[in-house]
Structure 1
Amino acid sequence: MRKITKKCWQCHRTFRVLEDEQYDHVCTNGCYENNGLSGSIDACGEEVTNGDEVIIHDGEIILYENAARYLIEVLGAERKNAGE
């Protein structure tokens, strides 16, 4: 399996993970452990826990799995099916 390089949004250091596991890993440099995000509430109202992958946008914390919900509910994006 091929390894890819990811860059941590917080500490800006790079780390390598297997390509098919790229979304399953947080920074291997340990910066997520004490970054103050654990226990926070994301922009969609869900609790952030240790190890959760998050997106930061304009100072808002968004759980990765809530990204589409954030685009639609908070930013006003429109959801459509292709071909409609």
Structure 2
Amino acid sequence: MYILVVLTGCAFAQQMTPAVPDNLPPGMPLVIRDLDQTAAQAARNPNDIGYTLGVVTRDGLAWTKSYGYADSVRHAPATSDTA
């Protein structure tokens, strides 16, 4: 199993957790849950940059979620399009 985690810079505000797909390899939902929890804790500091995480398997992008703000002045949340 190949896993790639991608971090991209953008500062704070967590978005809703996207659903974890049902067709993932065994153990992958736990990996995604742990990544999400760690990233959510890291995004609690409003002085840090926003970022997007992605998990890629052999079948392609399995999960993605953005954390923080793309623009902290306007409180524009980070998204996969703004990262």
TM-score (norm 1): 0.25
Structure with larger RCO (C-alpha < 8 A, sep 6+)? 2
The two structures have a TM-score, normalised by structure 2, of: 0.25
Which of the pair has more CA radius of gyration? 1
The answer to which structure has the higher strand fraction is 2
